[in-house]
A and B are shown apart, each in its own frame.
Chain A
């Protein structure tokens, strides 16, 4: 019997459904990987045994495609376009509403949506690192965002250690993966015969206890660790490990910005798939009867024309300045705001860029010749 003092158990492959069933029993709406439009997305599971098997996600600059995993594993896909962010920082959220009566009187009322308790199964180390950054932004001391907070509090996170990183992954270089080290309730490492499962919170521990698993053997724990180390070693892309702030901010007029601007479509895909991007627009949605209006926030992108709009002119009228705004914020001035870079090495911006712009390549070109400290 697994003892509560040692929160590492072994979940046989054919019992994965018991974990999902337990979470459902606790009232969680369970989200797990599903294939939609040729990509892995997080969708509500209908049944405890609804998780797909045998998928890998082949990714390259500007490319994402699902292939078969010869080992028929559950979690051999590296990541999909989205994981946690849409569940906490909703792509559309009502902030407040206002009613207007016949005399023109206005009555304002804050709105906090009812959201179900959710469990997300299969989140990766990069996603957890990104969540910590979103927490730092939305739950800042003295200014907690109640909408984000409400969704965040309800979350139960089942992490998975990556075994098969994509060619676009570089979390090992940013220090954010591939082994989940924080921010999860439970974490799984998938081996041939089952999962090494470990609790990272009291909530996770009580779920683990309820599964009554046998302890993982030392061999299983070692195998899992080696798998994580191997997943780090096979990553081919990287960002420099040091703070790029000064290197980038000293190169704001580098010709590479013009060069990348000539390829960038300013579509904003990179910001939509980025798990740390937090920009949002506030819009009003008035009811047709003229008596009420909802004030909503929706995801926005610094690549859009309206992002830099200012009474009659645009602060960032060209793609060069928008790409530069994005990259320098993510990798340079993010340090000023949050004490670290805003990139967690998930590689989504590389895979989902329609023209295959690779930020690791752009950084290398921009900082070429730099003397490393």
Chain B
């Protein structure tokens, strides 16, 4: 059974690449439009959810949705060319076809955070599932307090959307903190670990929500820093990644303790997953 705002049951729907952007040497963005008008009308997502993208004859991959949920025309996906499917997707050009089903999973708790400061902590390509949150907040700026965007990358050249970070940094009540473990010439931001920036983050722990997405080691360190600044655990969220093949809690690959990450997540409250995150191998 499919709920009315998704096209996630059964076979994928055909979609057309309407734009392709090379974000960095290994990272690209595909803007997709569903071919079937009824599917396009039915399709709605919440920031933090993901789609399954299908490359003909190769297979499917879970990709988080990076576009603005209000943009009803195209659905954006920022992808690292890494495996069989994503290396193939990287070769697609405007006009080419893919399959799409989704959206899946539980997104960010945006309804619950009205009136509060929002701290976004991302590492590497973890910024992709969170950028739709930034769009969401910027469109409804009056409903939120301060916005703190913290992004860490390994190498300075890994940072994508550099112009956007520059632009966000100029907005009122918005703080942008970026760190690269390895800097480069003309790198304007911090060189070092992203967690070294947490002391600079300007938010009110009494009324703030943090959302994290990135490598688990980084998220554990970030959680320690945020909790040390008296952010309550109940307002700390993270997005998890696991092998996902069915996306509907059936194939078993994404099981994390008693949770199916694809269905019960990918966004979890810190308290739901912290004990198992302390152990390698789940």
Which residues of chain A are within 8 angstroms of B275 by Cβ–Cβ distance? 249
- A324 CA to B245 CA, complexed, in Å: 22
Q: How far is the CA of A328 from the CA of B96 in the complex (A)?
A: 44
Determine the distance from Cα of A12 to Cα of B80 in the docked complex, in whole angstroms. 68
| Number of chain A residues close to chain B: CB under 8 A | 58
B281 at the interface (CB under 8 A from A): yes
B21 at the interface (CB under 8 A from A): no
Which residue from A142, A278, A310, A336 sits with its C-beta under 8 Å from B250? A278
| A residues near B60, Cβ cutoff 8 Å | 282, 295
Q: How far is the CA of A295 from the CA of B246 in the complex (A)?
A: 11
**Contacting residues, chain B, for A286 (C-beta < 8 A):** 56-57
A92 at the interface (CB under 8 A from B): no
Q: Are B253 and A110 in contact (CB under 8 A)?
A: no
Kindly specify which of B6-14, B69-77, B192-200 makes contact with the partner chain: B6-14
- Interfacial chain A residues near B41, Cβ < 8 Å: none
Please tell me which one of the listed residues B80, B243, B257 contacts residue A315 in the complex, with CB atoms under 8 A apart. Answer: B243
State which residues 328-349 of A face B: CB under 8 Å.
328-329, 333-337
Contacts of A253 in B (CB 8 A): 279
CA distance A318 to B241 in the complex (A): 19
The answer for the CA separation of A146 and B82 in the assembled complex, in Å, is 33
Nearest-neighbor residue (CB-CB) of A140 within chain B:
B249
| B114, CB-defined interface residue at 8 Å | no
Task: Say whether B97 contacts A324, CB under 8 Å.
Answer: no
Q: How far is the CA of A295 from the CA of B54 in the complex (A)?
A: 10
From 275 to 294 in chain A, residues with beta carbon under 8 angstroms from any chain B beta carbon are 278-284, 286, 290, 293
A268 to chain B, nearest CB (A): 13
> Known: A108-B99, A311-B83, A336-B257. Is A280-B251 also a contact (CB below 8 A)?
yes
- B242 in the interface, Cβ–Cβ < 8 Å? yes
B218 — which chain A residues lie within 8 A by C-beta?
Answer: none
User: Nearest chain-A residue to B80 (Cβ)?
Assistant: A311
Contact of A321 with B by CB under 8 A: yes
Residue in chain A with minimal CB distance to B241: A310
C-alpha gap A282/B262 in the complex (Å) = 15
Query: Is A98 a contact of B253 with CB atoms below 8 Å?
Result: no
B172 at the binding interface (Cβ < 8 Å): no
What bracket does the count of chain B residues touching chain A fall in? 35 or more
Closest B residue to A306 by beta carbon equals B243
Task: Give the docked Cα–Cα distance between A66 and B56 (Å).
Answer: 48
Bound Cα distance A283, B85 (Å) = 12
Compute how far the CA of A307 lies from the CA of B242 in the bound complex, rounded to whole angstroms.
Answer: 10
Which of chain B's residues has its CB closest to A292's CB? Answer: B57
CB atoms of A297 and B251 under 8 A apart: yes
Q: Which B residues between 245 and 282 are near A, CB-CB below 8 angstroms?
A: 245-246, 248-253, 255, 257-260, 275, 279-282
* Complex interface bits, B98-117 against A, C-beta within 8 A gives 1, otherwise 0: 11000000000000000000
Q: Once the chains bind, are A282 and B59 in contact (CB under 8 Å)?
A: yes
A282 adjacent to B11 (CB under 8 Å): no
A97 proximity list for chain B (CB < 8 A): 11
B253 touches A325 (CB 8 A): no
Decide if B1 is an interface residue (CB 8 Å cutoff).
yes
B162 → A minimal CB distance (Å): 23
Interface membership of A361, Cβ < 8 A? no
Out of B54, B242, B260, name the residue touching A310 (CB < 8 Å): B242
Indicate whether A105 reaches chain B with its CB closer than 8 angstroms. yes
B246, closest chain A residue (CB): A282
Give every chain B residue within 8 A of A280 (Cβ-Cβ). 245-246, 250-252
Complex CA gap A308/B60 in Å reads 16
- Identify the 4 closest CB pairs spanning chains A and B, nearest first: A336-B258, A321-B281, A279-B252, A96-B11
Q: What would 6 more interface pairs be, CB under 8 Å, given A98-B54, A282-B246, A336-B259?
A: A98-B11, A107-B14, A142-B1, A293-B56, A307-B253, A328-B257
On B, residues with C-beta under 8 Å from A are 1, 10-14, 54, 56-60, 80, 82-83, 86, 95-99, 241-243, 245-246, 248-253, 255, 257-260, 275, 279-282
